[in-house]
Amino acid sequence: MTLQFSLVAAAPESVDSPCVVVGVYENGLLTSAAARVDGAAGGAIKRQVESGDISGKAGSVNLLFAPAGVAAQRVLVVGLGAQKSFDAARFQKVNIEAARALGRLPLESAVSWLADVDVPGQDAAWRVRTAALAADHAAYRYTATVKPRGAGQPTLAALAFATGAEAQPGLDQAIAIAEGVRFARELANLPPNICTPAYIAAQAQAFAEAHDKVACRVLDHEEMEQLGFGSLLAVGRGSANKPKLVALEYRGGADDAKPYAFVGKGITFDTGGISLKPGPGMEEMKFDMGGAAGVLGAFVAAVKMGLPLNLACVVPAAENMPDGDSYRPGDVLTSLSGQTIEVLNTDAEGRLILCDALTWTARTFQPQAMVDAATLTGACVTALGKHASGLMSKHDDLAAELLAAGEATLDRAWRLPLWDDYQVQLDSAFADVANIGGKSAGAITAGCFLSRFTDGQRWAHLDIAGTAWDEGRKGLATGRPVALLAQWLIDRCA
């Protein structure tokens, strides 16, 4: 179920709602909304602060049921932490925790005053957008292959933010971006026996058919063979699920304006191929199409926002399986660009499908800028953990734009060098380039490999191996970097 958002103008003590949400800082400092509720309720919040029941610790939640003098049935008091250090990241955290707490209550709607909490350097539109995206993320439930839990119980369906009308643009953006994030998360969470290359192609085609200004083209393995996609096709050769190249195009800008382009790694399942991965944790390799999901989600967000620009989104989709016909270590592949590639490890397959997709995207769309997203290397997870995506580009201005978009949305990236010094690690005696560069600087050498297929292009690479999903058997896709990419497009329109 999709969470519905709106803005309201009302007093927290007098609004008739199943629940109102207010904030309290540490040391008992009440926000203006909490103070109004407290005054109407005869000091009910302050008494709980004084007794220690309400600590104000960031993300803590306390529920007051049917407090006298307040029209709402419940008051959810959310801790904001210390006021002097309150910042954007804390604001996002407390809104996530508030939405989680609301999701545990038997109610269908609520009104939140958290979007009115002051965040240094941020306006009302940013606060509402961030609060809505945080709530939508917390409210997401995967149900495609699971029986719904708690069927028949009321669940949160509508959340209103009490703030001024000047926040409406932020809410409009949040609704569109949230739809893109949900699209990406649902696609990535699906099991690999459902989410195959053909399934991704079908989802893209269905979206194009449902929206004006959007067209979809799908290349099958036979067409790619005729065109010379030697690198991409080699990766998918061992699977019964044949590769697809999926291309979506949105024409929201001038007819003569060059498009922006996204390219996303779409390995729908990665066994490692002949260089087989260890068994434990391999089930998480259904998330190896997180880059594809991310760029498709950003495309959805751009279309839903009606951004006045042209955008292409290209997904090379394949399954990396061991088979009698699989490609092998030692094989030399001829890529679409004409460059030959020595395969040293079949588990470095993402770059092999991306290089052909990048070449085709540049030739087909001649984009003014091209950004790829890929769950590319474990080395990036080692370097940056789960908090930041790795960003690589030889274009300082493009890198700065993407970093700024990540900061604005809290979908952050960190720039890694893409110096030519690293290129020697990809030298091969048998081909123009090897597909891996040895043990050191694995994320960077993967970026260096891709850079060889983007000559003359204004291009950046996002390694989202650490940020695309939460680890563990119950870990879900995060929907990153949809917010970052959507913000980058919004900024281009400004």
Judge residue 246's burial from the number of C-beta atoms within 10 Å of its C-beta, 0-12 exposed, 13-18 middle, 19 or more buried. Answer: buried
Strand order in the sheet with 340-342: 332-334, 340-342, 433-434
Query: Which numeric CATH code is attached to 175-493?
Result: 3.40.630.10
Distance between CA 482 and CA 406 in Å, rounded? 10
Residue extent(s) of CATH 3.40.220.10 domains in the chain: 4-164
When pLDDT is cut at 50, 70 and 90, the band that residue 154 belongs to is confident
Name the percent of the chain lying above pLDDT 90. Answer: 97
- Catalytic one among 93, 213, 277, 394? 277
pLDDT at 148: 78
The structure tokens 């529920």 sit at 63
Average pLDDT, whole number, for the chain? Answer: 97
Residue 63 tokens, joined: 């529920």
The arithmetic mean of pLDDT across residues 269-287, rounded, is: 97
Q: List helix spans (H) across 306-395.
A: 350-365, 378-384
CATH topology of domain 4-164: Leucine Aminopeptidase, subunit E; domain 1 (3.40.220)
**3-state secondary structure at position 344:** coil
Residues forming beta bridges with residue 22, ordered by sequence position: 77
Contact 100/142 with Cβ under 8 angstroms?
no
When pLDDT is cut at 50, 70 and 90, the band that residue 104 belongs to is very high
Alpha-carbon 183 to chain mean position: 10
Tens of pLDDT, residues 117-141: 999 999 999 999 999 999 999 999 9
- Catalytic one among 351, 412, 452, 480? 351
pLDDT at 464: 98
The arithmetic mean of pLDDT across residues 242-258, rounded, is: 98
pLDDT at 347: 98
CA-to-CA dists, residue 476 to 42, 127, 480, 481, angstroms: 43, 25, 11, 14
DSSP 394-412: S-HHHHHHHHHHHHHHT--
The arithmetic mean of pLDDT across residues 420-448, rounded, is: 98
pLDDT at 472: 86
Residue extent(s) of CATH 3.40.630.10 domains in the chain: 175-493
Contact 271/282 with Cβ under 8 angstroms?
yes
Contact 374/466 with Cβ under 8 angstroms?
no
C-alpha atoms less than 13 angstroms from C-alpha of 22 in its C-beta half-sphere:
24
Does position 396 have pLDDT exceeding 90, yes or no? yes
pLDDT at 131: 98
Tens of pLDDT, residues 331-385: 999 999 999 999 999 999 999 999 999 999 999 999 999 999 999 999 999 999 9
Q: Is 277 a catalytic residue?
A: yes
Distance between CA 288 and CA 293 in Å, rounded? 10
Question: With a threshold of 0.95, does the pTM exceed it?
Answer: yes
Q: Is 46 a catalytic residue?
A: no
